[in-house]
Structure 1
Amino acid sequence: MNESEFHQLVDETLDQVESLLDDAETDLDVDLNNGVLTVICENGSRIILTRQTPVKQLWLATRQDGFHFDWQEGEWVENKKGGTLSSRLTEAFKDQAGETLAFSFQ
């Protein structure tokens, strides 16, 4: 995947997350700017997704841990533990915001 394709894929993913959060009836503050999606939960904790162009990864930061994802066979897969972005986001929003949200990226 070249850099342009990577940027497009990440932009689509971040747009999907932002759209899902905007459509959900939650009290989350969502900001998408220059490849960084920041979600501030009601309790003040943050969930952050960032584009990492040099390594062509999407990074997720939660209050529990940080995760690095590679695009593999049509989905974002964590490079060390093998979890998916969808499952990690679902866990993070349940833990930090008390919200049950379903994510799907393909």
Structure 2
Amino acid sequence: MTDLEYLDKAEQLLLAVEQCCDRLNDDVDADIDAQRVGGLVTLVFPNKTQIVINQQKPLHEIWLAAKAGGFHYKFDGQCWKDTKGSGEFFENLSRFASAQGGLPLTFTAKLT
């Protein structure tokens, strides 16, 4: 993957996360505050816990930090997969956000 391809895919991922937060706030009153600064998105939940998602440009990875731990994802041509085999980014984000937010939350790669 070239640097430009990585940047395009990483931007799509971050936009999808932001759009999912907007949808969840409208649909299920999740009250997730999504704060974006450049290649970093911080999700702040009502209980003040956070999930941090950021680009790691030199490695062509996306990193996610949650109460469950820290995870690194690489794009495999189809989706962002955990580099240690722990699943797909949006499935994991949904699980971690649900645990931290206290209600079922579903994040998807689909942009609206």
TM-score norm. by structure 2 comes to: 0.88
Once the two structures are TM-superposed, the CA of residue 53 in structure 1 deviates from its matched residue by: 0.5
Greater relative contact order (Cα 8 A, min sep 6): structure 1 or 2?
A: 2
Write the mapping of 1:49-64 to structure 2, written as runs, cut at 5 A.
49-64=53-68
Give the match for residue 2 of structure 1. Answer: 2
1:23 matched to 2:23: yes
Write the mapping of 1:1-106 to structure 2, written as runs, cut at 5 A.
1-24=1-24, 25-105=29-109
Structure 1 residue ranges without an equivalent (≥5): none
Percent identity between the two aligned chains: 26
Give RMSD over aligned pairs.
Answer: 1.3
Structure 2 residue ranges without an equivalent (≥5): none
1:76–1:105: 8 Å Cα contact kept in structure 2?
no
* Number of residue pairs matched by the alignment: 106
